[in-house]
Amino acid sequence: MAAISIKLEKSQIYRNKDLILKDINFEITRGQFAFLIGRVGSGKTSLMKTLYAQLPLNEGVGIVCGYNLSTISRSEIPYFRRRLGIVFQDFGLMQDRNVVENLEFVLRATGTNDKNDIKYCIKNALERVGMLDKIQMRPHQLSGGEQQRVAIARALLNTPEIIFADEPTGNLDPITSEGIMGIFRQISNNGTTIFMATHNYTLFEKTRGRIFQIENQRITEKL
């Protein structure tokens, strides 16, 4: 039986005191590719933030990578997030550092200090996204697609069980978006769970995966 990466049961999602999503019930097993779709402002980002413990889960059951989101402590969150990779629409790279320095910062921040380990992890991650030839460049010297590839490499550094991708192609043209989706498909094929929020319905037409739709504050799976 496949291990469960994400499980929500009778969960209510809040942003501050506002109820955003109600009675959420679903689970995603290890290695699955799943899309979260819905209109802008429907609650996709709030759900994502809850799943990686940026927003608290105060009602219902939430299990991600074996951690209970209802009871997780502040001291546990850094260890929890080492099990995850997170990719944002706006890339989130530090503009005053080159590609290697961006990735090295993340590794050191998550407890990797051995120089050989750092070198290996960075090389391996950049190789997977086809960016080894751009290691000395700073973000402003890269195209949007190249910056997103670096952001994906950053998410891969700690060999995550799950990658949360929140509108990862939102700032990219269609051809570049397809290249980025190809990288995500390859990552999924290698056993990493992908949970991707998007309002671009053309993305999942070319990628096999489960589709969860937000509508009227509820989530249903499209079969």
Residues 213 and 171 in one domain: yes
Residues 55 and 103 in one domain: no
Distance between first and last Cα of the chain: 22
Distance of CA 43 to the CA centre of its chain: 16
Summarised one tens digit per residue, pLDDT across range 54-67 is 999 999 999 999 99
Residues 74 and 109 in one domain: no
Summarised one tens digit per residue, pLDDT across range 171-213 is 888 888 889 899 999 999 999 999 999 887 777 777 889 999 9
User: What average pLDDT does the chain have?
Assistant: 91
Looking at 105, 137, 159, the residue that finishes a domain is 159
Looking at 159, 178, 200, the residue that finishes a domain is 159
CA-wise closest residue to 171 among 147, 144, 134:
144
Q: What is the pLDDT of residue 1?
A: 59
Report which DSSP code applies to 11: E
User: Across residues 3-32, what is the average pLDDT?
Assistant: 94
Looking at 133, 159, 185, the residue that finishes a domain is 159
Residues 174 and 219 in one domain: yes
Summarised one tens digit per residue, pLDDT across range 41-57 is 889 999 999 999 999 99
Residues 121 and 177 in one domain: no
Domain that holds residue 173: 1-83+162-223
Question: Please, what's the largest Cα pairwise distance for the chain?
Answer: 50
Summarised one tens digit per residue, pLDDT across range 100-147 is 999 999 988 888 888 999 999 999 999 999 999 999 999 999 999 999
CB 11 within 8 A of CB 57: yes
Residues 151 and 170 in one domain: no
For residue 151, give the 3-state DSSP assignment.
helix
Percentage of the chain beyond pLDDT 90 is 69
Q: What is the pLDDT of residue 176?
A: 87
Distance separating alpha carbons of residues 32 and 192, to the nearest angstrom: 7
CB 14 within 8 A of CB 58: yes
CB 177 within 8 A of CB 184: no
Residues 73 and 17 in one domain: yes
Distance separating alpha carbons of residues 66 and 206, to the nearest angstrom: 31
In the chain, the number of structural domains is: 2
Residues 68 and 120 in one domain: no
Higher pLDDT, 3 or 1: 3
For residue 168, give the CATH number of its domain.
3.40.50.300
Residue at 27: amino acid letter: E
Element (H, E) at 128: helix 115-128
Residues 151 and 179 in one domain: no
User: Across residues 76-101, what is the average pLDDT?
Assistant: 91
Residues 12 and 47 in one domain: yes
Q: What is the pLDDT of residue 94?
A: 92
Q: What is the pLDDT of residue 223?
A: 79
Residues 101 and 173 in one domain: no
Residues 198 and 123 in one domain: no
Q: Does pLDDT of 87 surpass 80?
A: yes
